[in-house]
């Protein structure tokens, strides 16, 4: 059982998170060790990337992932963990049935070793609502997310999604959007500022992806963002910036 503490994603400071994307236990642990040495604020475990070339059946995913999370936690107990299975629909690397998506997140909540869990807004179901409720009781931060790798939606639509996330019980809200113009990048920064004004107590994670939106990963905190994703090598999304550069900028 993990010790209870304030969630690792907070609005009053700008944190750096490193995605752990290695395909083998050796590479996963090596990446975590590197993140610990870099003194980042938390790591994101991305088992959808781990399972991509694993050649094991979907039925084996959950026990395999639970064991890997346990291994990471007990080796690096002081490093906060954000657990994320990114679905194919929002940029993930391995397919998973809706039922097993729910079952996996339930298993991670039951395991009670991570500090935060990502749930995609459009993967939300009544069953997932019960998982979120249990996570709140265990003081696990629930990050509700929306990713669009094709375009940047208008701010009115994004605010509607934010309201849906909050209604569903999100403790943190996250938006990652692909820009096609510089106006899209400005729109994400404006959206971030509006979120911070509407929900000042609610931590928010926003980014404009790709090379065009890369600046938002380094300056988002000026507009109210509270977390950025940096890389120590292999990125998990387009436009991620090296951790050492982020540390100099933020």
Q: Which residues are catalytic?
A: 147, 174
Rounded to a whole number of angstroms, the CA Rg of the chain reads 17
SS3 192: helix
SS3 18: strand
Find how far residue 59's CA is from the centre of its chain: 24
Query: Can you state the angle between helices 98-111 and 126-137, rounded to 10 degrees?
Result: 10
Residues in CB range of 117: below 8 A, 6 or more apart: 82, 83, 84, 105, 108, 109, 135, 140, 141, 142, 143
Q: Shortest CA distance to 148 belongs to which of 185, 177, 121, 112?
A: 177
| Contacts of 93-98 spanning 24+ positions with Cβ under 8 A | 93/48, 93/49, 93/51, 93/52, 94/48, 94/49, 94/51, 94/52, 95/58, 96/48, 96/58, 96/61, 97/58, 98/123, 98/125
Distance CA 211, CA 220 (A): 15
């Amino acid at each position: 059982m993990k010790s209870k503490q304030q969630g690792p994603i907070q609005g009053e400071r700008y944190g750096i998170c490193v995605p752990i994307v290695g395909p083998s236990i050796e590479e996963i642990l090596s990446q975590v060790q590197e993140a610990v040495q870099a003194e980042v604020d938390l790591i994101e475990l991305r088992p959808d990337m781990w399972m991509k070339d694993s050649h094991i059946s979907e039925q084996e995913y959950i026990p395999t992932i639970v064991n890997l999370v346990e291994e990471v936690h007990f080796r690096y107990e002081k490093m906060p963990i954000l657990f994320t299975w990114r679905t194919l629909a929002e940029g993930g690397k391995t397919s998973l049935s809706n039922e097993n998506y729910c079952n996996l997140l339930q298993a991670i909540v039951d395991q009670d070793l991570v500090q935060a869990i990502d749930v995609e807004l459009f993967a939300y179901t009544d069953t997932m609502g019960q998982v979120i409720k249990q996570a709140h009781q265990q003081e696990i931060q629930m990050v509700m997310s929306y990713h669009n790798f094709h375009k940047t939606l208008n701010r009115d639509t994004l605010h509607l999604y934010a309201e849906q996330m909050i209604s569903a019980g999100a403790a943190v809200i996250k938006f990652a959007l692909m820009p096609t113009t510089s106006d899209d990048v400005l729109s994400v920064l404006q959206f971030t500022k509006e979120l911070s004004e509407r929900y000042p107590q609610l931590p928010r994670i926003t980014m404009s992806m790709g090379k065009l939106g890369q600046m938002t990963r380094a300056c988002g905190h000026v507009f109210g963002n509270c977390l950025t994703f940096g890389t120590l090598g292999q990125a998990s999304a387009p436009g991620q910036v090296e951790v050492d550069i982020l540390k100099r900028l933020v």
